[in-house]
Amino acid sequence: MTERVIANAAALSGWRKSSYSDGEGAECMEVVDGYPHGIPVRDSKAPRGPAIVVPAGAWSAFVDAVKGGAFGQG
């Protein structure tokens, strides 16, 4: 079975914030690239986790929808 939750997100290195983040510490999510089981996603305010692991195809669809303005931003 594919891993869906990482109990302690701080166990992974290489977390990065969205390029849309304002840099002022506002609520933001972070991701790790290159994880073999999908895209780990965590809340930047809770770096010690947990993180969810999103399948790569679902993550790509989400990012495309955000870029396309599907959520009222774009």
pTM (2 d.p.): 0.81
Structural domain boundaries of the chain? 5-67
What's the average pLDDT block by block, 10 residues per block, for the chain (74 residues)?
85 86 71 94 91 95 91 66
Cβ(74)–Cβ(67) below 8 Å = yes
CA distance 64 to 49: 26
pLDDT of residue 12: 94
pLDDT of residue 26: 63
pLDDT of residue 66: 86
pLDDT of residue 67: 87
pLDDT of residue 18: 74
Q: In the 8-state DSSP scheme, what is residue 51? A: E
Residue 46, both tokens: 């809770």
pLDDT of residue 2: 67
